[in-house]
Amino acid sequence: MAVLSPALGFVPRHVAVIMDGNRRWARARGLSTEEGYRRGVDALRGLVRTAAKRGVEVVTVYGFSTENWRRERSEVAFLMQLCAIAAKTEMFGLLRENVRVRVVGDVSAFPAATRAALRRLERTTAKNTGIALHLALNYSGRAEIVSAVRRIASAAAAGEIAPEDIGEETIGAHLFTHGVPDPDLLVRTGGEQRISNFLLYQSAYAEFWTTPVLWPDFDEGCFDEALEEFARRQRRFGF
């Protein structure tokens, strides 16, 4: 459920973001793809700060999808390196700003150094009580649902749960995002109109907002525009 803000009206508790446009942003400026991703980290830092100021409780960002492995090997290698570097360099700022980080997805295929940096970031920020930042890494909505179904099926086969007792709460409890409210608002930058296999189950009733702004240019004004649009909408939840 959204919360009421005197300045902005109803503010979403949970905002999910598809951060699209890093490469296009770089090409348009004659810069390297790597620089586009670096600027994307800057935009993410700004997003978290703005969301915290506006009263948002959870931000989930699509950092690396399972489909991203198909990109050029050099690009994937850079992303793995950037992920590890950002996990280390952003840690103290996140601690100072009371941000709690959680990795959502299966990072077992990531390089050992990247996995270690992410684990340390999660562990170090675990006791923070402010906004939660969820990093969807090596994430796929379909794979998440398959994983949940397999674990529920194993529990049913072991007699731990009866098939007739399986409901939406059961499925939710077995998702990577268990314990977190579903997103109220799903934002996609870069002008595309796709959900791209992101939070498929959780986004059943999320409000969808897109902008042509490429991710590195997404700033406080853009985020406020999304929040203002969200506050104007009447959410029906299927009714």
Nearest-angstrom CA–CA distance, 56 and 131? 7
Angle between helices 33-54 and 73-89 (to 10 degrees): 40
pLDDT-flagged residues of the chain (< 70): 1-9, 238-239
pLDDT attached to residue 6: 43
Residue 54 lies in a domain: yes
pLDDT attached to residue 225: 97
Residue 57 lies in a domain: yes
Residue 149 lies in a domain: no
Residue 21 lies in a domain: yes
pLDDT attached to residue 175: 97
Residue 115 lies in a domain: yes
Residue 237 lies in a domain: no
Report strand pairing: 207-210 vs 185-188. Answer: parallel
How many domains does one find in the chain?
1
Point out the residues that are catalytic: 20, 68
Nearest-angstrom CA–CA distance, 59 and 185? 10
Residue 170 lies in a domain: no
pTM over 0.85: yes
Furthest CA-CA distance within the chain: 60
- Residue 18 sits in a domain whose CATH number is 3.40.1180.10
DSSP string, 132-180: EEEEEEEE-HHHHHHHHHHHHHHHHHTTSS-GGG--HHHHHHTSTTTTS
Residue 156 lies in a domain: no
Backbone CA torsion sign across 78, 81, 87, 90: negative
Structural domain range at position 100 = 3-140+184-229
Eight-class DSSP state of 110: S
